């Protein structure tokens, strides 16, 4: 009787459909539950890589078989991975994760190289220009389509790639990590920076680049 009374109170008070709870399809079955999702941009798992997180609160009696940690389950038609399952006084909290990577995530490390002019040698000439390593940044680099190759504010000059680079937390407007003319080394390819557009709100540096032979 006590167990039945607790289950009744849970649905009448905590999982009231007229308050916070809703009907959720969990593993193909309708369940009276509270569904709380954390958007990808608020749940980070690494530099630039995000994952959605979802918490389900429901009556333990409504879940026929509790899922195991690491298993997969569908919630309202979407696949999720089970992070953990906690039971407390007849209520079960199931934490779920969706680890599909945001397509705009900064998932690759790009090396930034800066050209250094050669010094005069003993016979009056100049040594060849060299490249000095500056830093490495998390980035995403894309080849651009032929219809989208004009570099912003650079007239008729064309770009072949667009790089979105992370602006470090300690970098200010006067000390951007990348400058015009720098070389980005990406997947064994070298790209020369021809245009820069900082987005300070997102702390992203958008670089218009042109492919050069290594």
Instruction: Give the class (CATH, top level) of 2-98.
Output: mainly beta
Which phi and psi angles does 100 have, rounded to 5°?
-65, 130
Q: Report the distance separating Cα 187 and Cα 109, nearest Å.
A: 9
Q: What is the sign, positive or negative, of the torsion defined by CA atoms of 10, 28, 22, 37?
A: positive
Contact 52, 40 (CB under 8 A): yes
Whole-number pLDDT of residue 48: 47
DSSP one-letter string for 147-203: GG-BPTTSTT-B-SEEEEEEPPTT--TTS-S--TT-EEEETTEEEEEEEEEEETTTT
Rg (CA), the chain: 27
Fold of 108-212: Thrombin, subunit H (2.40.10)
* Residues making up the chain, counted from first to last: 214
What DSSP state is assigned to residue 64? S
Assigned token pair, 171: 């970098």
pLDDT in the model for residue 165:
92
- Angle at the Cα of 71 (from 60 to 73), degrees rounded to 5? 65
For the chain, the first-to-last Cα distance in angstroms comes to: 77
Q: Give the phi and the psi of residue 11 in degrees, each rounded to 5.
A: -75, -35
Successive 10-residue mean pLDDT values, the chain, 214 residues = 50 57 84 81 50 86 81 85 88 84 71 84 68 90 75 64 89 86 92 93 91 75
What does the pLDDT read at residue 163? 94
Show the tokens assigned to 99: 């680890």
Residue 158, number of CB atoms within 10 A of its CB:
14
Q: Do domains 2-98 and 108-212 have the same CATH topology?
A: yes
CA distance 171 to 124: 39
Domain ranges of the chain: 2-98, 108-212
Closest-CA residue to 98 (of 126, 114, 74): 74
pTM value > 0.75: no
């Amino acid at each position: 009787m006590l167990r039945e009374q607790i289950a009744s109170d849970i649905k009448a008070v905590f999982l009231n459909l007229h308050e916070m709870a809703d009907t959720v399809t969990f593993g193909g079955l309708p369940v009276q539950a509270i569904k709380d999702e954390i958007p990808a941009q608020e749940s980070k798992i690494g530099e630039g890589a995000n994952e959605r997180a979802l918490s389900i609160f429901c009556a333990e009696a409504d879940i026929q078989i509790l899922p195991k940690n690491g298993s997969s389950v569908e919630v309202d038609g979407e696949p999720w991975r089970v992070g953990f399952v906690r039971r407390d006084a007849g209520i079960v909290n199931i934490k779920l994760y969706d680890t599909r990577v945001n397509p705009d995530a900064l998932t690759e490390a790009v090396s930034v190289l800066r050209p250094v002019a050669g010094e005069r040698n003993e016979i009056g000439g100049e040594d060849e220009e060299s490249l000095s390593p500056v830093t490495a940044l998390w980035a995403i680099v894309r080849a651009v389509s032929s219809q989208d190759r004009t570099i912003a504010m650079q007239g008729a000059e064309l770009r072949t790639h667009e790089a979105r680079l992370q602006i470090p937390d300690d970098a200010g407007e006067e000390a951007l990590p990348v400058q015009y003319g720098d070389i980005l080394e990406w997947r064994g390819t070298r790209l020369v920076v021809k245009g820069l557009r900082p987005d300070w709100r997102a702390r992203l540096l958008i670089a218009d680049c042109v492919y050069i032979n290594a």
